[in-house]
Amino acid sequence: MSITTLDQLLQTVKSKNRKRLVVAYANDIHTICAATMAADYGIADVTFTGDEILMRKICETEKIDTSKFKFINEPNENKAVFKSIEIIHKGEADFLMKGLISTDKYMKAILDKEKGLMDSGAVLSHVTVIENPAYPKLLTVGDVAVIPAPDIREKIAITNYLIQTAQTLGIEKPKVAILAATEQTLPKMQACVDAAIISKMADRGQIKGAYVDGPLALDVAIDKESADIKKVKGEVAGDADCILFPNIEAGNVFYKMNTKLCKGELAAVVFGAKVPCVLSSRGDSTKTKLYSIALAALLS
């Protein structure tokens, strides 16, 4: 049975064995509260790196029992994230989470050739699971935060990450829409060309485990009536589980439109590293951070 809401995701992860989470530079209230909820729900045992005095002060203010956590004092944000990665290399944590450190510094540490979490040739990409009140199921989308203009090789990697995530959510054969500004295959529009190539690769079994179709415009991908009017047929049209965006602008606008205008909720994880890496915005709510922890725990 597939998971259709983020609360269902949370309940599913609560029934699994506890994982081990290390939070890099956990100097903010939303991160600490989300990690506390994850610990209380039995999702993960938590280690915090960062300014220990500040982290303990936040816990005291929020009446959080500090005995349930391990604290590693490192007030420097760059050193804190590398200390967190070191803990993963030692086999003492199953996944990583970003605290108050900026995204560029967090990603730079993960990508570091000597101390980071990347295997040679791997593609690092951001995958988001969105719950929109107007859509009957979860949407798994990418990339909205890491790769500005993915080339065909990176789009293929992202497609496989989307499929893997959707399958982890219980969708046996997810429906993947390769997005463009139109459902027509226009040779002068690179997004259309890439979409056609990726769709044909799926038809020939080079991309496995999903129905893949494109190019598809957004309306055709998620609205059955639009697909019928435009006479676009196939397994994906009007019923997408996953969306691959042509570039970061399209993805990021969609991501923020869902949360800010549609009151949607989300969970976000970075793929391609040796372990799942939670990447939520520093301004994201406690609930968003908790859902992201749950998704990373399930994927790990």
pLDDT confidence bin for 1, thresholds 50/70/90:
confident
- Would you say domain 125-260 falls under CATH 3.40.50.300? no
**Would you kindly state where each structural domain of the chain is located, as residue ranges?**
6-118+273-299, 125-260
Taking only the tens place, the pLDDT of each residue in 92-115 is 999 999 999 988 999 999 999 999
DSSP β-bridge partners for residue 187: none
Q: What integer best gives the mean pLDDT of the chain?
A: 95
pLDDT confidence bin for 91, thresholds 50/70/90:
very high
pLDDT confidence bin for 259, thresholds 50/70/90:
confident
Q: Per-residue pLDDT averaged across 108-137, rounded?
A: 94
Q: What confidence score (pLDDT) does residue 128 get?
A: 97
Q: Per-residue pLDDT averaged across 54-76, rounded?
A: 96
Q: What confidence score (pLDDT) does residue 156 get?
A: 98
Q: Per-residue pLDDT averaged across 215-222, rounded?
A: 98
Evaluate whether 6-118+273-299 and 125-260 have a shared fold: no
* Rounded percentage of the chain residues whose pLDDT exceeds 90: 92
What's the CATH fold of domain 6-118+273-299? Rossmann fold (3.40.50)
Nearest to 240 by CA among 217, 260, 258, 208: 217
Asked whether the beta carbons of 8 and 295 are under 8 A apart, the reply is no
What does the alpha-carbon distance between residue 242 and residue 244 come to, in Å, rounded to a whole number?
Answer: 7
Return the minimum-mean-pLDDT range out of 51-55, 128-132, 249-253, 280-284: 280-284
State both tokens at 4: 């259709």
- For residue 35, pLDDT over 70 is answered with yes
State both tokens at 278: 């939670």
- For residue 282, pLDDT over 70 is answered with no
What does the alpha-carbon distance between residue 266 and residue 145 come to, in Å, rounded to a whole number?
Answer: 14
